[in-house]
Amino acid sequence: MTYKDTVLPVSTSQSEYGEVLDTKKVFFQTLKKKVRKIIFGILISATWSIACVLFLPPKIASSDFGIYLTVAPWFIFLIWLIIVYSKIREAFWKQLALKYNWEYTSSKNISNEKALLFKEGHSKHAQHGIIGGYNNQPFHIFEYEYTIGSGKSQRTYSFTVFEIKFTGTFPHLYLNFKSDWYSNSPSMFSSFAKISVPREFEDKFKLYAPKEYEIETLEIFTPNIFSLLVDSKWDHDMEFVDGELIIYKMERFSNFADLDAELTKIKKFIDILSPLLNRLKLTQIGNISPLLK
């Protein structure tokens, strides 16, 4: 975890949108307040587009320039909506910082992160987060996204990441929750071992560790831990790497109640694992790397 992130002070006063604890609700309330301006903008855009279709010379109207000119007002309107919603999401995270008495971060530097999550794709972007502590352990929650492919096959994945730092050290482990239809499993050409999980949990989880570190892995992922995950209806992927526990879910939370419920679930998991993760001291086995690659 790096603290070279952009940390900004949060005013105790409410934002221009009031108290933002549900981004979608506030977004639609904001649009409702601006309904007259929106209707006026739609009428102007429609008039512009119709005028372009009727009065532009056919050669220009059928060209790329003519098409762009015709839809330009609609594009501007879309950009305005995106900007409004982006400001509301920023206000939402600042409200979270106030709720938890943490600090708001506008961005995060992930260049030195070792988790598999941060090795995937391109156009990587970490933004909107809060930094604080839990049980005297640094805690960072933030939004993260990356893109794979290009053109029509392009797809963007968005996550909420919970990152907790411990005083102990341990090998790089990756637990995949199978039902979320997402996995960043290590490459088949890398030096990793797929660890067998108790049979009753095989349909829910896949566990990976570097070869020769199976014993250390099973010190952490005991049958009791798997039972705890199932009982809590766990639906996250997680990685243990470089003294950190990184938990992530392929979802951008839009209201305080849902995110707070996730955080409560994660805190219970941390309470169980903290004593072990704070005292573990990794000893590298020969020249075998303890990292998944």
One domain for residues 94 and 200:
no
Q: Which residues contact 117 (CB under 8 A, 6 or more apart)?
A: 144, 159, 161, 184, 237, 239, 246, 248
**Global pTM?**
0.87
pLDDT at position 183, please? 75
One domain for residues 120 and 259:
yes
Q: Where in the sequence is the domain holding 44, given as residue range(s)?
A: 23-100
One domain for residues 151 and 260:
yes
One domain for residues 89 and 147:
no
Rounded CA separation 209/291 (Å): 8
Overall number of domains in the chain? 2
One domain for residues 121 and 257:
yes
One domain for residues 86 and 184:
no
pLDDT at position 15, please? 67
Confirm whether 190 is domain-assigned: yes
Query: What pLDDT digit, counting tens, does each position of 228-278 carry?
Result: 999 988 989 999 998 999 999 999 999 999 999 999 999 999 999 999 999
pLDDT at position 5, please? 59
Q: Which of 67, 100, 133 is the last residue of a domain?
A: 100
pLDDT at position 14, please? 56
pLDDT at position 189, please? 55
Q: What stretches in the chain show pLDDT beneath 50?
A: 1-4, 12-13
Rounded CA separation 6/104 (Å): 8
pLDDT at position 200, please? 87
Q: DSSP class of residue 199? A: G
Q: Which of 100, 122, 143 is the last residue of a domain?
A: 100
Query: What pLDDT digit, counting tens, does each position of 76-108 carry?
Result: 999 999 999 999 999 999 999 999 999 999 999
One domain for residues 156 and 96:
no
One domain for residues 152 and 249:
yes
